[in-house]
Structure 1
Amino acid sequence: MTTLHVIAHSPFGDDRLSSCLRLLGAEDAVLLCGDAVYALRPGSEPYAALQAADLDTRLFALDEDLQARALDGALAKAIDYPAFVALSLQYDKVNSWL
């Protein structure tokens, strides 16, 4: 069963991102939104963890949140809200890390 994991909290305030990466299945994807996009700041520990996870085409970030925080998010594919909805339909379930 494939899962889209949605993370909205800063990776610098808690361990949701690292917990998610430990539990990630081989076909699961991660969507960063809100303050979670700070994980895409090059040189940071969360950025290194995302690189090590080798998500390739399975890492996404909401473009609006990247722009609001002046991040380019080169490691992730930037998507808008309609693409987020479409993405959520591609996976068997969506898990929001509240």
Structure 2
Amino acid sequence: MATLHVLSHSPFADERLASCLRLLAADDGVLLCGDAVYALRQGSDSQRQLEAAGLAQRLFALDEDLQARAIASELAKAVDYPAFVALSLHYDKVNSWL
């Protein structure tokens, strides 16, 4: 069962991102929203963790939050709210890391 993991908290505040990445299955996806998009900041430890996780085609970030925080990244695919809904329907489960 593929799961979409939704992270919304800053990766610099706690270990949710690292915990999530440890639990990912091969077909799981990750969506960064809110302050979690800071994980994509160039040169950060969290960006290196995401790169090492090998999430090609399975890492997404809410475009509105990327724009609000002036973050650009080739690592994650930017998605809008309708695409977020489509992702949640594509995966068998959605796990929000509250």
Report the counterpart of residue 8 of structure 1 in structure 2. 8
Tell me if structure 2 keeps the 8 A contact 1:61–1:73: no
Q: Which amino acid aligns with 2:80?
A: D
Normalising by structure 1, report the TM-score. 0.99
Q: 2:24 matched to 1:24?
A: yes
Shift of 1:73: 2.2
Normalising by structure 2, report the TM-score. 0.99
User: Structure 1 stretches (4+) deviating beyond 3 angstroms?
Assistant: none
RMSD between superposed Cα atoms in Å: 0.4
Q: Deviations over 1:8-65 (max 9, x none)?
A: 0000000000000000000000000000000000100000000000100000000000
Report the counterpart of residue 35 of structure 1 in structure 2. 35
Query: Unaligned stretches of 5+ in structure 2?
Result: none
Report the counterpart of residue 90 of structure 1 in structure 2. 90
In structure 2, how many angstroms separate the alpha carbons of the residues matched to 1:73 and 1:9? 18
User: How many correspondences in the alignment?
Assistant: 98
